Amino acid sequence: MAESTATEAHFDDEAYRGRFDPQLWLRLSRHAAPFRRPIVALCLCGVLMAAVDTALPLVTASLIDAAIAGADGATIASHAAVYLALVVVLCAIVFGFINLAGAVATGIEYDLREKGFRHLQSLSFSYFDKRPVGWIVTRLTSDINKIAQQVPWLFLDLVWGPAFILLLSGAMFALSPKLAIWVVAVLPALVLITAFFQSRLLRSQREVRKTNSRLTAAFSECLMGVRTTKSLTRERENLHEFQELSSTMHHHSLRNALQSAVYLPLVTFMGGLAVGLALWRGAEIMALPSDDGVLDTGLTPGELVAFMQFAGMLALPIQDLAMHFTRLQSAQASAERLQSMLDAAPEVRETPAALDAIAAQQSRIAAGETHPNEPIDGGDAVIDTLTFENISFWYVEGEPVLRDLSLNVRAGQTVAFVGPTGGGKSTTVSLAARFYEPCEGRIAVNGVDYRDRSLAWLQSQLGVVLQTPHLFNDTVRENIRYGRLDASQDEIVAAAELAGAHAFITSLEHGYDTVVGEAGGNLSTGQRQLVSLARAVLADPQIVIMDEATSSVDTETERVIQSAIERVLDGRIAFVIAHRLSTIRRADLICVIEAGRIVERGSHDELMARHGAYFQLYTKQFVSDAGG
Amino acid sequence: MNASAKQTDEHTPRPPGFRATARMLFRELRGQRLRYFSAMLALAVASLLLYAGPLVVQATLDGVVIPGAADGGELSAASRLTLDALGGEAFLRDNVWVAALAAVALTALAGFFTYLRGRWSGQAAEAIAKRVRDEAYDHLQRLPMSFYKNRQTGDLIQRCTSDVETLRLFLSQQVVEIGRALAMFLAPLPLMLSIDWRMTLAAVALLPIIFAFSLVYFLRVKSAFKLKDEAEGDLIATIQENLAGIRVVRAFARQDYEIDRFTEKNATHRRLDRRLYVLMARFWSASDLLCMTQKAAVVVVGGVLVARGELGVGAFYFFLTAVTLFTFPLRMMGRILTDLGKAIVALARLRDILEEPIETDLPHERHADLRGGVVFRNVGFAHDDGQRPTLSDVSFEIEPGQTLALLGPSGAGKTTIVELLLRLHEHDTGRIELDGVDLRDVRRSSLRAQMAVVMQEPFLYSKKIRENLTIGRPGATEEEMVEAASVAAVHESIERFERGYDTSVGERGVTLSGGQRQRVALARALLQEPAVLILDDSLSAVDMETESMILSALKDRRAAHTTIVIAHRLSTLMHADKVVVLDQGRVVQVGDHETLIAQEGLYRRLWTIQNEGVDEARVSGEGSDHG
């Protein structure tokens, strides 16, 4: 956990580099395509709103001028009616765009998450090997949320802002070009100030976010390592290191706070400046209404008031646009990571040949020519032999893990892999399960390359029992049922009995309905192993793959598990990474794997007689201790 | 998920009453109160100045630019004063720029005070946030282990990060807004009344309704937020479970089933999130309607009064500006009050941790130089009161330099003995002595500095391997470090990393296997040169060959320190000077290998199981020798 958070912080650092990347957003925007209509409607709302925002001060101006001229009740009433009508329209627009924004934001969020989740279900294990679970979860949750929640507002304000500036300026120029020039002159200054501060705010915000993820990692490490810290009496040094980090955080967030403390008043001031300019120039224009005899230079009192109101509103669209740009920038890291996840290609998937076979089988089923329970690719249902033919494999080019490995297994055989750590035992069983595919050579089911068979079919014939069995945070019953979803209660109990798990399950307070906790934490390691065995039994697989636990369970529990395993393996093809003597001894074939090769193979007795690597391994581990 | 949610709830304190709340918040402001007070003051001044600008504008309009719009040119007292201050109407008539400049200057001044407010409240809030973070971090590492028993790491992290953030946001942006609210009601109201009471009425009539509406709304929307947050938590848990178990999902080819389950949660989340948007749409449009209606009232009443000649255009403008100035903050008040609620909950959740008592040294505790003699006399311990005791009546002795092995099924109490020895827990009954000194008289820091533990799932800091190794002895030389790593049989593995000892633990692409971690932790412990070395099932992930290598290398060093070994493999334990066999918290057998093998009991039973077939193997091996 601590390790994963540290890694996470590392991953994040990576992504914070890079400038605004329009290409990336263009690619992501394709996900918004299904929401074209509400987005267009949102843009319309933006234009309408800008129009109403501009119209309201004009109505007021007209009312003031009419009033000064001594308007009667009817005139005032008609103005009031127009004003109220505009207000109602405005509120209707507000109601409309929030609803539209909701439809777009939640819809895109839903779609992206669904795409991401589906994609993850098809990605190869190598993808998960390199990335902590927490990191992927963040991509699917907060990153997607960050992106999706921005989309509608971005469209709305991208339309509203420019439309408002245009309409506002247009209205002012229509009223009095002379005065309008003075007021609009403030705009470039506003844009400059905003650009200046936003780029700084952006930078300090990035620092804050970065430091914040380090802070979270530090807290996580503090908690995960509390026992270690205590036993090393490292509290003071830890606090010291943390204080350095929290000072950095203080430094960055204070800078961010001070930058916005300057920026916002400056914007307010620029608005005030525009109002002052309108007053000054407006008063002068009004003082000489018909000096040069040109009528439209004149300005009515109502128009002056409208001007000053417009001047006060000038900063709003610019502030809004700047805010969106900042948010877009800060979401860019999220967008990059999400896109890279969606772009990751699954390394192991159905080959074209397998897909053709599946399609052909489907049409046969549709035509009633074959039974739907037959394998989905129309191949053999029963696995008689599984053959490794000159397999080589590497995770990294040039660093082979397995070299030219060949092996032939018949139905009913148990193959035990023994050998030193890192020799290639786990890789061999991963290839058998087609979690990875060989880089050279082929693995054949009844003589057919398994890449020509359906991946889904092969994996549905697998039962995997891992050294650290993973259980889902659900009841014991549901965890066992995971082996075969349509299993009845009786079948579940029968599987548990066969796996030797029934006795302990019934002794639990809630029996089969006991919730196992996060990653099965409410059960002991041995109990988890028994449940996962039961799960594998229920699946009734043709191939069992088992990575035996070493010594994390006590000896007597180990014995229970051992006899359960023997019952489970009976009659199936089994690959076992073996640590226990009894498993090794009862295996039909023992393969000693060293440095990616099978250096010896045979039964226990044969290998003992040979006095080779197995004999060495065997006597060293078991006999020397017994003898001493 | 359900289980964890329940557990979290248990530790979520109830929101305290109003007075306790105020006291709690006030206490948290310590050291920064002057800054806060200044910030509030600055904000109050800034809000007043925001009205002064329009006041100048209105006086200028009515007195200078458009005089006589109102009956007889009668100006309000405020306008009169303003005009006189600026040099009188006659002067201004030729110099409107003076008035305009005054208005701009007032806005600039308002801006300056707004800046001061932002600066001071920012400084105060950041300082408090830093203090709270440091406090929380230090407190967490000093809390006794018993605290962690029922706590979830995720929940604690959340309290220290996002709860602090909630508090910080509230402190930096919203606390001072109270200053604005007060200033708004104290100053503009008299000003407006002095200009025209009918316009004032038109400008404020709906305010109480707007305020009440926003308050009620934000309180109601809270439950909708909570539902959405729960759905989100559920969704996250589902994704997390799927990814954590992705190997199981694949092994049983359950992708479609998982997608179905996920889709259901995803849809629920969307529905609840969508509902929030609908609620928002209703609130903001209705609230806009109220505010705009208020403005419309000003426009209409103003129009009527101007038409009657009872109101100047300037005054009309002033009210129009004022109504905009105060409706928006008022609308936000509802939000501030609900955010106050959130901040209080966050603060209470933090205090809940900070008020837990930490491990403290008592006055009589002192430093002791340990030689490694350990005596347990009738020691008893229970994790929770009233529970079945974890240890009862446990007695044994170890001489300095000896090796003691602890053996027994899981749950027998082996690890608890280690924890008592390190004072991670305090024993309830009996007596533990170190070289004849009562354990309780030795300071924890002194004790722990002289004992080294290697745990089954050891923790490494996300630092370089080198730093991890030398943590126990910062001054260690390169040779000492390499020597310790060699004894722990991890030197070669480390050298194989591209950056050797400078590889960072947890770096991209480099992950240490369980066995490597155990061995690094062992090397770290050896480097500490402890008086007592404790190996708590700490070689379980190391293959047997490597283990026997490590054990024989350790044997050469054993004379230097007392060793306590916990393991399930008898091969690990059999060379110990003394083996203590535990079952259900009691000592059932004590003795060395020869004694125990001769007795009926757990030891012999395990010996038989673990060596099944070994003799036969030896025989067959020998047999082929002859053949």
Residues in chain B closer than 8 A to A71 (CB atoms): 303, 307
Same domain for A80 and A211, yes or no, is yes
Q: Hey, is the C-beta of B328 within 8 angstroms of any chain A C-beta?
A: no
Indicate if the pLDDT at residue A38 is higher than 60: yes
Of B126, B461, B575, the CB nearest to A257: B126
Chain A nearest-CA distance from B400, in A, is: 20
A489-494 contact pairs (CB < 8 A, 24+): A491/A538, A492/A534, A492/A538
Q: How confident is the model at residue A11 (pLDDT cuts 50, 70, 90)?
A: very low
**Percent composition of chain B: helix, strand, coil (DSSP 3-state, to 5):** 65, 10, 25
Tell whether B249 lies on the interface with A, counting CB pairs under 8 A.
yes
CA distance B229 to A279: 51
Of A290 and B62, more confident: B62
A299, A322, A343 — which closes off a domain? Answer: A343
Question: Is 80 exceeded by the pLDDT of residue A298?
Answer: no
Nearest CA in chain B to A117: B259
Residue of B nearest to A138 (CA): B236
Local confidence band at A504 (pLDDT 50, 70, 90 cut-offs) = confident
Residue A280: its chain B contacts at CB < 8 A?
A: 96-97, 99-101
* Token pair of A557 as six digits: 């529990």
Question: A95 and A237: one domain?
Answer: yes
pLDDT tops 60 at residue A456: yes
Contact B239 A435 (CB under 8 A): no
The model's confidence at residue A550, banded by pLDDT at 50, 70 and 90, is low
Do B461 and A225 count as a contact with CB atoms less than 8 A apart?
A: yes
Residue of A nearest to B270 (CA): A106
Does the beta-carbon distance from B617 to A618 stay under 8 Å?
yes
Selecting from B259, B544, B618 the residue whose C-beta is nearest the C-beta of A118 gives: B259
Nearest to B108 among A269, A279, A621 (CB): A269
Terminal Cα distance for chain A, rounded: 40
* Whole-angstrom distance, CA of residue B275 vs CA of residue B228: 9
Buried b (16+ CB within 10 A) or exposed e, B528-555: bbbbbbbbbbbbbbbbbebbbebbeebe
- The span from the CA of A397 to the CA of A41, in Å, is 53
CB contact under 8 A, B134 and A242: yes
Q: Is the dihedral of CA B351, B2, A526, B605 positive or negative?
A: positive
Confidence (pLDDT) at B128: 93
Of the partner residues A99, A140, A260, the one whose CB lies closest to the CB of residue B281: A99
Judge: B111–A269 Cβ closer than 8 Å, yes or no.
yes
Contact by Cβ (8 Å): B296, B61: no
B436 touching A (Cβ < 8 Å)? no
The CATH number that applies at residue A514 is 3.40.50.300
Give the pLDDT of residue A117: 93
In this prediction, residues A102-126 reach a mean pLDDT of 90
Three-class SS state of B49: helix
Nearest CA in chain B to A456: B253
Task: Write down the pLDDT at residue A168.
Answer: 93
SS3 for A507-549 is HCCCHHHCECCHHHCCCCHHHHHHHHHHHHHHHCCCEEEEECC
Q: Is B451 on the interface with A (CB under 8 A)?
A: yes
Helix (H, G, I), strand (E, B) or coil at A353: helix
Query: Which CATH number does B16-196+336-359 carry?
Result: 1.20.1560.10
Contacts of A559 in chain B (CB under 8 A): 609
Pick the closest to residue B73 from B84, B61, B81, B82 (CA basis).
Answer: B61
Cβ-Cβ contacts under 8 Å between A and B: the total is 495
For A408: left if phi > 0, alpha if psi spans -120 to 50, otherwise beta; the answer is: beta
Please report the ipTM that was assigned to this predicted complex. 0.82
SS3 category, A487: coil
Find residues 170-199 of chain B whose CB sits inside 8 Å of chain A. Answer: 172
Domain ranges of chain B: 16-196+336-359, 197-310
What would the two tokens of residue A605 be?
């007795």
User: Per-residue DSSP letters for A428-462?
Assistant: HHHHHTTSS--SEEEEEETTEETTSS-HHHHHHTE
Cβ-defined contact of A64 to B571 (cutoff 8 Å): no
Query: Bridge partners of B403?
Result: B563
- Residues with Cβ within 8 Å of B624's Cβ and at least 6 positions away in sequence, in order, are A608, A609, A611
Centre a 10 Å sphere on the Cβ of residue A481 and count the other Cβ atoms it contains: 22
List, as own/partner pairs, every contact residues A68-74 make where C-beta atoms lie below 8 angstroms and the sequence separation is at least 24, other chains included: A68/A300, A68/A301, A68/A302, A68/B66, A68/B69, A68/B306, A68/B307, A68/B313, A70/B307, A70/B309, A71/B303, A71/B307, A72/B307
B153/A224 CB distance under 8 A: yes
CA–CA separation, B145 vs B420, rounded Å? 11
Q: 3-state SS of A202-220? A: HHHHHHHHHHHHHHHHHHH
Q: Which of residues 531-550 of B touch A (CB under 8 A)?
A: 537, 540-541, 543-546, 548
**3-state per-residue secondary structure call for A14-83:** HHHCCCCCHHHHHHHHHHHHHHHHHHHHHHHHHHHHHHHHHHHHHHHHHHHHHHHCCCCHHHHHHHHHHH
Residue A455 forms part of a structural domain: no
**Nearest C-alpha of chain B: how many angstroms from A407?**
22
Cβ within 8 Å, pair A106-B277: yes
Residue of B nearest to A278 (CA): B100
What DSSP letter does each residue of B75-101 carry, written as one string?
--HHHHHHHHHTTHHHHHHH-HHHHHH
Amino acid in position B191: L
Q: Classify A275 in phi/psi space as left (phi over 0), alpha (psi -120 to 50) or beta.
A: alpha
> Cα separation of A614 and A600, whole Å?
7
Q: Which residues of chain B lie closer than 8 angstroms to A557, CB-CB?
A: 409-410
**What is the average per-residue pLDDT within A183-198?**
90
- CA-based nearest distance B335→chain A, Å: 18
pLDDT over 70 for what percent of chain A?
A: 92
| Residue of A25, A13, A12 whose CA lies nearest to A329 | A25
pLDDT-wise least confident of A77-86, A167-176, B185-194, B521-530: B185-194
Query: Measuring CA to CA, which residue among B103, B115, B112 is closest to residue B51?
Result: B103
pLDDT at A105 exceeding the cut of 90:
yes
Residue to test with chain B: of A197, A308, A513, A550, most B Cβ within 10 A: A550
Share of chain A above pLDDT 90, in %: 24
Q: Is residue A569 part of a domain?
A: no
From A511, A540, A569, the end of a domain falls on A540
Q: Is the dihedral of CA B242, B245, B250, B253 positive or negative?
A: negative
CB within 8 Å: A117 and B66: no
Task: Decide: B400 and B372 in contact? Cβ < 8 Å.
Answer: yes
pLDDT of the residue at B284: 86
| Distance separating alpha carbons of residues A233 and A226, to the nearest angstrom | 10
CB-based contact, B137 to chain A, within 8 Å:
yes
Measured between CA atoms, how close is A405 to chain B, in angstroms?
23
Contact A275 B546 (CB under 8 A): no
Amino acid found at B478: E
What average pLDDT score do residues A356-362 get?
85
Q: Which domain holds residue A494?
A: 465-540
Structure confidence at residue A624 (pLDDT): 36
**Would the CA dihedral through A112, A113, A119, A124 be positive or negative?**
positive
What is the model's pLDDT at position A549? 61
Final residue before a domain boundary, out of A328, A343, A358: A343
Q: How far apart are CA B195 and CA B182, in angstroms?
A: 21
Q: Is B317 helix (H, G, I), strand (E, B) or coil?
A: helix
**Residues B589, B581: Cα–Cα separation, whole Å:** 5
Three-class SS state of B396: strand
Average pLDDT over residues A318-326: 83
Confidence of residue A443 (pLDDT cuts 50, 70, 90): very high
The phi-psi region of residue A130 (left if phi > 0; otherwise alpha if psi is between -120 and 50; otherwise beta) is alpha
Residue A445 in domain: no
pLDDT value of residue B620: 42
Choose among B108, B266, B292: nearest Cβ to A110: B266
User: What SS3 class is residue A590?
Assistant: strand
* CA distance to partner chain B, nearest, from residue A40 (Å): 18
Q: Kindly determine whether residue A623 and residue B236, on different chains, have CB atoms separated by under 8 Å.
A: no
> With 90 as the cut, is the pLDDT of residue A622 above it?
no
Determine the residue among A232, A281, A303 to mutate to test chain B binding: the one whose Cβ has the most chain B Cβ atoms within 10 Å: A232
Is position A481 within any domain?
yes
Give contacts of B 337-366 with A, CB under 8 A.
Answer: none
Inside any domain, residue A616: no
Q: What is the DSSP letter of B159?
A: I
Q: In this predicted structure, which of A293-302, A453-462, B93-102, B611-620 has the lowest mean pLDDT?
A: B611-620
Query: What tokens appear for B197 in the block?
Result: 């009471």
Q: Is residue A379 part of a domain?
A: no
Chain A residues near residue B101 by CB distance under 8 angstroms: 276, 280
Cα–Cα distance, A208 to A223 (Å, whole number)? 23
- Tell me whether B142 touches chain A (CB under 8 Å): yes
Distance from CA of A19 to the nearest CA of B (A): 24
- In whole angstroms, give the CA distance from residue A208 to residue A214: 10
- Chain B contacts of A524, Cβ < 8 Å? 410-411
In angstroms, the CA A231 to CA B519 distance is 17
Interchain pair A473, B292: CB under 8 A: no
Residue A259 lies in a domain: yes
Residues of B (463-522) whose Cβ lies below 8 Å from A:
471-472, 504-509, 511, 513, 515
What DSSP assignment string belongs to B501-549? GGPBTT-TT----HHHHHHHHHHHHHHT--SEEEEESTTTTS-HHHHHH
The low-confidence residues of chain B, meaning pLDDT below 70, are 1-18, 68-74, 185, 331, 334, 338, 385-387, 506-511, 558-559, 610-627
Q: What is the reported pLDDT for A430?
A: 86
Using a CB-CB cut-off of 8 Å, the residues of chain A touching B449 are 233
What whole-number distance in Å separates Cα of residue B127 and Cα of residue B167?
Answer: 12
The position carrying tokens 């909701």 is A102
The four Cα atoms A593, A595, A599, A601 give a dihedral, to 10 degrees, of: 10
User: Considering only alpha carbons, which residue of chain A is nearest residue B451?
Assistant: A231
Count of structural domains, chain A: 2
A502: amino acid identity, one letter:
H
Instruction: Report phi then psi at B377, rounded to 5.
Output: -120, 110
Residue A466 is nearest to which of B247, B281, B459, comparing CB atoms?
Answer: B247
Sign of CA dihedral B19, B20, B24, B27: positive
Q: What is the CATH number of the domain that holds A312?
A: 1.20.1560.10
Cβ atoms within 10 Å of B89's Cβ, excluding its own: 18
Taking all residues of chain A, what is their mean pLDDT, rounded to a whole number?
83
Could A482 and B252 be called an inter-chain contact, meaning their C-beta atoms sit closer than 8 Å? yes
Chain B residues lying within 8 Å of A49, measured CB to CB: none
